[in-house]
Amino acid sequence: MTNLSLKILSLRSNVVTAASFIRSIHHESALHRSSGGPPKLSPYDVNNILRANEHTQEFFGGSVKCYDSNQLASNSPIEDSRSEATCAHTAGLLLGIFDGHGGPACSQVISKRLMRYIAASLVPPDDLRQHLLNGAQSFSFLNCHNDKLEFVSEIKELYEKSFLQFANELTNTTLAGFQMHQTLENAFVRLDQDLSREAIEMPSLRTMSVAMSGAVALVAHIDGPHLHVASVGDCSAVLGTVTDTGQWVAKKLTNEHNSDNVGEVRRLLSEHPATERDTVIRGERLLGQLAPLRAMGDFRYKWSREQLEQLVVPQFGEQVIAPYYLTPPYLSACPEITHHILTPRDKFLIIASDGLWDTMSAMQTVHLVGEHMYGKAFLQPLTLPKHDITLGEISQMLSTRKAGLQKKPLDRNAATHLIRNALGGTEYGIEHSKLSHMLSLPQDIVRLFRDDITITVVYFDSEYLRNCPT
């Protein structure tokens, strides 16, 4: 399944080069282990691995100043995907985290397609109709940042056809009935329906590899002071807010859709007969197999038994049908949506796959990013105010800067800073030997110790939020 999914997208050379470097480092570590010595990664090697996929994007004007993003693989290939884009025809910024399972195919596909579905949905129907008449394609609705993936031509044509059908249907809606919650929900559900239809009507190795894998997804849309977060599964979004007394507060904007969520379990049980009460969730997993209770793809938990027997069993075997598979669908792609109006006290947003949250709490991440944000300020050149200033005031500024330089972070990128702490953090600070060990684990056991980690940290412009209307 994994090998098939790699043929859906092509990857440009710069990421391959970074992956090759990491493989060479791991090979060298393996030589150390085979010779009886401990795995050794120098600080230089560690930094190269941690920074291989980092990215920073700055903005001018609006509520977002910039964002930092990064990824660190555990699976090979990585099953996480991420996407960030500015809407081409509206003022919105879209940021997404996608955590795949059963291979990377589904997460890679929805990371590109879902953002396009959302961006087109935000264009007023009359304007959208005109764009389509002028030959607009799915990619023309987004200005993507740090996008290194492209669909292979065969699958690209199929996906484009589905998008244009969806976009043309949007032109028949009315602007008066626009609701952001409904718009996000429709985009998630419709893309999932398209993934299903494409696999059923045009079965191939590529469409079926997407259909049989799955992904949880989290998308944040920011437009001025309005922040919407839509989520299926167990990625999380945390808002970093500072109080009047300078204390950091972590505000969680998402709920994990798994068996630990009592409300989610009740929802799922209510959708099936009482006779299935003991079989819908077994061993804290859906039908005893899948941890998230909402996800995109994973049609082995959504299609009818007849469809599975006709389309899937001949290729993947009888084991593809879960025990006690009686009243599908068992899995939903409908997102839970949160709306938050940003204030000047809201300083940043952290969105990440569960590879981060497995290692640290929301409060820990907010403290780390808050300290990083403060320390990073001292990496900038010193600028004096334009008004008259005394020598005493200059002396005080220099003293403050000297003290602050002691707190300057090792990484400029906040997402990298979080990954470094997630893997090497101790109560006494970063421990290089721990970090070196976690980054040099052989491929056959690394997944036992850490998951793929994908993080985006979004910084808000407090001055803009102080003056903009809500």
Angle between helices 153-170 and 180-201 (to 10 degrees): 140
Structure tokens at 184: 């996000």
Q: Quick one: tokens of 331?
A: 């899995």
Q: Please state, as a whole number, how many other Cβ atoms lie within 10 Å of the Cβ of residue 170.
A: 21
d(CA 345, CA 465): 9
Q: How far apart are the first and last CA of the chain?
A: 48
pTM check: above 0.85: yes
Q: Extract the runs of DSSP E, i.e. beta strands, from 12-105.
A: 55-58, 64-72, 80-87, 93-101
pLDDT, position 69: 98
Dihedral, CA atoms, 297, 298, 303, 309, nearest 10 degrees? Answer: 130
Residue pLDDT, tens place only, 278-287: 999 999 999 9
pLDDT reported for residue 427: 82
- pLDDT of 244 > 50? The answer is yes
Rounded mean pLDDT, 249-260: 98
How far is it, in rounded angstroms, from Cα 328 to Cα 271? 10
Query: Which residues, including other chains, have CB under 8 Å from residue 63's CB and lie 6 or more apart?
Result: 222, 224, 225, 342, 460, 461, 464, 465, 468
Over the chain, what is the mean pLDDT? 89
Residue 274 has pLDDT above 50, yes or no: yes
Distance CA 304, CA 326 (A): 9
Q: Determine the Cα–Cα distance for residues 242 and 239; give it in Å rounded to an integer.
A: 10
CA distance 436 to 432: 6
pLDDT-derived band at 374, boundaries 50, 70, 90: confident
DSSP 290: B
Where does 35-124 have alpha helices with state H? 43-50, 105-121
| Residue-level pLDDT at 446 | 95
Asked if residue 23 has pLDDT above 80, the reply is no
| Residue 20 DSSP label | H
Residue pair 409/372 in contact by the 8 Å Cβ criterion: yes
CB 251 within 8 A of CB 238: yes
What tokens does 277 get?
């009460």
Asked if 451 and 37 count as a contact pair (C-beta separation under 8 A), the reply is: no
pLDDT of residue 348: 98
Residue spans per domain, the chain: 43-382+390-467
Domain 43-382+390-467 -> CATH class:
alpha beta
pLDDT digits (tens, 9 = 90+) for 210-243: 999 999 999 999 999 999 999 999 999 999 999 9
Instruction: Using DSSP bridges, classify how beta strands 285-286 and 281-282 pair: parallel, antiparallel or unpaired.
Output: antiparallel
| 180-193 per-position pLDDT tens digit | 999 999 999 999 99
The contacts found for 408-411 with CB under 8 angstroms, 24 or more apart, are 408/375, 408/376, 408/378, 408/379, 409/371, 409/372, 409/375, 409/376, 409/379, 410/47, 411/50, 411/51, 411/54, 411/372
Percent of the chain with pLDDT over 90: 78
Which amino acid belongs to residue 186? N
Rounded Cα–Cα distance for residues 356 and 358 (Å)? 5
